[in-house]
Structure 1
């Protein structure tokens, strides 16, 4: 099964990558920009992804996190 999400130019791609990587059942995802496609391996091994994950880990350790409920995830993905 596949899901296609189209983003605006000012979308918070780092947050979206982080969110998708934490959702149960997401096996992989590709991000494309114009003609260029990025594989999960390229994303995961990128310097930016490392920074995002480090920041996320630091915020979690400080207690700065929000648990996502099923209702919120359903709302994000417009599931009824």
Structure 2
């Protein structure tokens, strides 16, 4: 089975991939842009991923974080 998600250009793709990778039953995650598919290894080793992770860690250290509650996850995935 496959699920397709369309994101805008400002979507936090590394965060979304990390979030999805923690869900039971997901075997693999691929990101494609204009017919180019990036592997998880390519994304993790990219300069941008490192910057996003660093920014995320800094925000967490400064108290700028949001808890991922069941209600929040339901809101993200439009689950009623």
**TM-score > 0.5 by shorter chain:** yes
1:3-47 Cα shifts (integer Å, max 9, x gaps): 210123xx323x232133035225542110111101111001100
- 1:5 aligns with 5
State the Cα RMSD in Å: 1.9
Number of matched residues?
Answer: 77
SS at match of 1:48: helix
Which portions of structure 1, spanning 4 or more consecutive aligned residues, are displaced by more than 6 angstroms? none
- 1:29 aligns with 29
Gaps of 5+ in 1: none
- 2:64 aligns with 64
Gaps of 5+ in 2: none
TM-score (norm 1): 0.79
TM-score (norm 2): 0.79
In 2, Cα distance between equivalents of 1:76 and 1:31: 18
In 2, Cα distance between equivalents of 1:30 and 1:52: 18
In 1, Cα distance between equivalents of 2:44 and 2:28: 11
SS at match of 1:32: strand
